[in-house]
Amino acid sequence: MPTIFTVAAALLGAAVGSFLNVVIYRLPLGLSIVSPPSSCPRCDTRISALQNIPVVSYILLRGRCAKCREPISIRYPLVEALTSVLTALLWLRFGEDPLLFGIYFIFMAAMVAVVFIDIDHKIIPDSISLGGIVLGFAASFFTPVGWVDSLIGIVAGAGSLFLVAWGYHIITGKEGMGMGDVKLLGAIGAFLGWQSVLFTIFVSSVTGSVVGVVALKLMGEGRDYEIPYGPFIVLGALAYLFRGPELIDWYLSLMG
Ligand SMILES: [Zn+2]
C-alpha cells in the first residue's frame, strides 16, 4: 500500500517540478506564471500537453524542440526529477500526516525555485521570501513547530543573518550576503522554527566556504566570481527538514 502512494507523490513532484520551471523562468522577469502557456523560445510553437510530460517528453524529444529542433536546456528535466525525488522522500517522512506533508511540500517547492532563481539572477524574489514568512507563520499553527518558535524563528533568521551580513560588509567593504538571503532565512525560521535557523546558518556557511575555496582553486586566485549563497541556505534548510533533530543529536554526541 505505501508504495503506490510514494509513486503518486513522485508523479505529483514531477508535475510540480514542471510548473517550477515556469516559475523559475518567469517570476524574476515579472511575467505571469499562469499564462500564456509555455512555448519554444525560438520558434514560438506552443508546447502541447503531450510534449509537456515531465522528464519523459525531454527524453522522447531527445532534448530538442519538436518543430525547430532548438536544444532544450537539460535543466528542465533535472528540476522535474529533483522535485520528484524530494516529494517522494517527503512523503516517506511525513506521509502519515497529510496536512504536514502538504505544508512542507509547498515549502520544499518554494526552496527549489529559490535555488535556481538565485543561480540565474543572484536574487531571491520577495514574493517567495516575504510571502514565505507570512505563510510559514500561518502554517506554524498546524505544525509541531507552533507559533512561538515560528515567531522567534523569523526574528532569529532575519536578525542574525542581518548581523552577519552587516559585519561582513564592515570588515571587507563588500556585499557578502544580500538582503534576499536574510529574508529567506526569516522564511525558513517561520516554517521550521528558530532551531532550524542556527542549523541552516551552520550548514550553509560550512558548505558555502568549501565550495567557495574549491571554486577559487579551479578558477584561479584573484578571480572575483560571486557564488550565490541561496542554494547553500536551501541545502541547510532541507537537511533540517528531513533529518534536523537527528543530525543535531549526532553532532552533539561527537562533541561529547
Ligand atoms: Zn522551436
Q: Taking the domains of the chain in order of start, what are their residue ranges?
A: 1-96, 99-256
pLDDT at position 223 is: 60
Cα-flanking dihedrals φ and ψ of residue 30, to 5°?
A: 75, 20
Task: Tell me, in angstroms, the distance from the centre of ligand 1 to residue 92's CA.
Answer: 39
Task: Tell me, in angstroms, the distance from the centre of ligand 1 to residue 68's CA.
Answer: 4
222 band by pLDDT with thresholds 50, 70 and 90: low
pLDDT tens by residue, 164-197: 777 777 777 766 567 888 899 999 999 999 999 9
Residue 146 vs residues 5, 36, 42, 133: alpha-carbon distances, Å: 28, 39, 49, 14
Task: Tell me, in angstroms, the distance from the centre of ligand 1 to residue 19's CA.
Answer: 19
Task: Tell me, in angstroms, the distance from the centre of ligand 1 to residue 182's CA.
Answer: 39
Cα 228 to Cα 208: distance, rounded to the nearest angstrom: 9
Task: Tell me, in angstroms, the distance from the centre of ligand 1 to residue 214's CA.
Answer: 38
pLDDT above 60: residue 86: yes
pLDDT at position 95 is: 92
Task: Tell me, in angstroms, the distance from the centre of ligand 1 to residue 10's CA.
Answer: 29
Task: Tell me, in angstroms, the distance from the centre of ligand 1 to residue 114's CA.
Answer: 27
User: Rounded mean pLDDT of the chain?
Assistant: 90
Query: Residues of 169-207 as b/e, b for ≥16 C-beta within 10 angstroms?
Result: eeeeeeeebbbbbbbbbbbbbbbbbbbbbbbbbebbeeb
pLDDT at position 176 is: 59
Q: Which amino acid is at 230?
A: G
pLDDT tens by residue, 88-145: 999 999 999 999 999 999 999 999 999 999 999 999 999 999 999 999 999 999 999 9
Classify burial at 152, counting beta carbons within 10 Å of its beta carbon; exposed 0-12, middle 13-18, buried 19 or more.
Answer: middle
Q: Residue written as cell 578558477?
A: 219
